Amino acid sequence: MSNPVFERIRRQIESDDVVLYMKGTPVFPQCGFSAGVVQVLSRLGVQFRSYNVLEDMELRQGLKEFANWPTFPQLYVKGELVGGFDIVREMYESGELQQLLREKGIAFSEAA
Amino acid sequence: MTEEGRGMAIAAELERRLQAAFAPVALDIRDDSERHRGHPGHREGGGTHFVVRIVSEAFRGLSRIERERRVMATVADLLEKPVHALQVIARTPEEVR
C-alpha cells in the first residue's frame, strides 16, 4: 500500500457515505454503464459524490489496483466497493442494494 | 487448431479450473463471443468472451464483488482481455432455490 494515490482514494471513500467513480459526470455520463448506476442511485434518491476518472488518469489507474477491480464504474458504500453496473443493477432489482443501504444507515426513498 | 477448436478448448479449460476450485453444484459456460462482434478483443471463431453461471457453497458469505474476484483470479490468464471477456454470475445453492 505504498502507492500515494491509495491514500487519496481512502480519504475520498471515507469522506462520503456513497461514492461513485465513473466515466463522465452524473449530468453528462460518457459511458452507458456509468449512466446506469447514476440512474439507479437517482431512482433511490441516494445522495452520492462522484469523481470523473476520465479527467484523472492517476486516479483511474490507482483505483484499478486499489480495488483489485479492472473496470468502471465503481460504487463504494461506507468505504467498501459494492460493484459495477451489473452487480448494482442485480442488487437493486433483488432488493439487496436497498437492504445494504438500510444496514449502513444511508437515507434513500423506500418507495423506489 | 481450427478457430472453433480454440474456443472449445478454452471453454473446457475454464470448466476444469472452475470445477477444481469451487466444486460447483451447477456450472454453465457459454461462449458469448458472437454478441461482442466488432468489440475490442473479438476474433472470428469465438473463444474471446464467455458467460459463466456457477452455483457453489464456496460463495456463501461473500459479497458479489468478492465472488467475481475469486472466479476471475482462477481463470484470468486464460483470457486475452479479461476486463470484459468474462461475465460471472455466482450464486450459492440457497440463492437459486
Check residue B84 and give its pLDDT. Answer: 65
Question: Of A60, A61, A81, which to mutate for an interface test with B (greatest number of B Cβ within 10 Å)?
Answer: A81
Looking at the structure, give the CATH architecture of the domain made up of residues B3-96: 2-Layer Sandwich (3.30)
Show me where the domains of chain B are located.
3-96
Check residue B81 and give its pLDDT. Answer: 62
CA distance B27 to A9: 36
Instruction: Evaluate if residue B5 carries a pLDDT over 70.
Output: yes
Quick check: is A99 in a domain?
yes
Check residue B34 and give its pLDDT. Answer: 75
The size of the A-B interface in CB pairs under 8 A is 21
Q: Do B63 and A82 touch (CB under 8 A)?
A: yes
Strand order of the β-sheet with A18-22 is A49-52, A18-22, A74-77, A80-83
Domain with residue A68: its CATH number is: 3.40.30.10
Q: Do A82 and B82 touch (CB under 8 A)?
A: no
Quick check: is A109 in a domain?
no
Of B65, B83, B84, which is closest to A83 when you measure between CB atoms? B65
Instruction: Evaluate if residue B1 carries a pLDDT over 60.
Output: no
Quick: pLDDT tens for A35-88.
Answer: 999 999 999 999 999 999 999 999 999 999 999 888 899 999 999 999 999 899
**Residue carrying the nine cell digits 459456460:** B29
Chain B, nearest residue to A91 by Cα: B64
Q: Do A69 and B64 touch (CB under 8 A)?
A: no
pTM score: 0.83
Considering only residues B23 and B31, tell me which one the structure prediction assigns the higher pLDDT.
Answer: B23
Domain of A76, in residue numbers: 4-104
Domain count, chain A: 1
Quick: pLDDT tens for A73-101.
Answer: 999 999 999 999 989 999 999 999 999 99
CA distance B45 to A62: 35
In sign, the C-alpha dihedral spanning A106, A107, A111, A112 is: negative
The whole-number average pLDDT for the span B45-54 is 83
User: Across all residues in chain A, what is the average pLDDT?
Assistant: 94
